Amino acid sequence: MSSQRLNKFLAQRGVCSRRQADRWIEEGRFRVNGEPVTLGLQVSEGDVIELDGKVLELKQEKPRRIIVAFHKPVGVESTQDPDNERNLDRAINWKGPRIFMIGRLDIASEGLLLMTNDGDLVNPILKSSQNHEKEYIVVFDSPISDAQIKEMRSGVDIGDDQRGLTKPCGVDRLGRNRVSIRLTEGRNRQIRRMAEAFGLRVVRLKRIRVMNVELGDLPKGEWRYLTKMEEKTLLESLNL
C-alpha cells in the first residue's frame, strides 16, 4: 500500500488540517509505531499513530464532510488546546465528530469562524494568493478620515513581519468611526495593526463573512451547519 505524508494522511481522515498537523509534529505530540515524528514523515495504513499518548483510530475511508459556521464571542481563544480554559471546543460545545477551525480570530474579536472535519478545505480558503474575501465591521476609538480610508485601501505598512505593505482591500465608511473592511489576506492582528499605523485603536472588530458564507443573525456562541447552497457555492469557488 502506498505511503503519504503524515499531515496529508491525517487531514484526509478528519483528524486535523495539514497546518495543524505540522504544528503538532513540531511540538512533539505525535509518535508513529512508538517513534518520535519529524516533518515530512511518510506513513501507511498499517502504522500505529499516537497523539498525546493515545492511539488514533483511523478509518481508511474519508468521513462525510462537515462544515459549520460558529459565532465566536469575545474572550474565546482560537485554539483547541485542551489545557486552555478559553478554548474553542469549550465554547462551541460540539458533540459530533472532531472538527477544527479554518483560520483564526483573536481573543478580542468576535464573529464568523468556519469549522470543518475536512483538512483539504483549510489551505485553499486561507491562501492569500487565492484572493478569497473575508469581511469585517470595525469600530475605532476616534473618527477615521477619508484620506486614511483611501490610504488603507491601497495598502499599509504594518511593521516588522517583513512582508511589506498589506494587499489592497475594500474599505467603506459606515459612520464617523465605523467602517467595513474586506481582506483577501490574513496576517496576524492585521486590521488592528492597520489601524495603529494611522494612530487609531480598534474598539470592536466583528467578522461577518467568509467568502460566500455570512454570519447573519447567528447568536454569539451558537453554531449552524452550512446550507446545501452555501456549501455548494463554497466548494465550487475552491474548485473542489
Q: What is the pLDDT of residues 119-163, one digit of tens each?
A: 888 888 888 777 899 999 999 999 999 999 999 999 999 876 677
pLDDT for 62 beyond 70 = no
Q: How confident is the model at residue 118 (pLDDT cuts 50, 70, 90)?
A: confident
**DSSP percent split of the chain into helix, strand, coil, nearest 5:** 25, 25, 50
Give the C-alpha separation, 141 to 80, whole Å.
31
More confident residue, 18 or 14: 18
Amino acid of residue 165: L
The confidence score (pLDDT) of residue 60 equals 57
What value does the mean pLDDT take over residues 178-194? Answer: 94
Helix (H, G, I), strand (E, B) or coil at 102: strand
Phi-psi region of 75 (alpha: psi -120 to 50; beta: other; left: phi over 0): left
More confident residue, 10 or 227: 227
Give the C-alpha separation, 51 to 25, whole Å.
10
Give the C-alpha separation, 29 to 100, whole Å.
17
Choice among 47, 89, 106, 120 that is catalytic:
106
What value does the mean pLDDT take over residues 88-92? Answer: 91
In the chain the domains, ranked by start, together with CATH numbers, are: 4-55 (3.10.290.10), 67-127+212-237 (3.30.70.580), 133-210 (3.30.70.1560)
Q: What is the pLDDT of residues 19-30, one digit of tens each?
A: 888 989 999 999
Is 22 designated active site?
A: no
pLDDT for 112 beyond 80 = yes
Helix (H) or strand (E) holding 207: strand 202-210
Average pLDDT in the chain: 90
Cell output for 30: 505525535
pLDDT for 58 beyond 80 = no
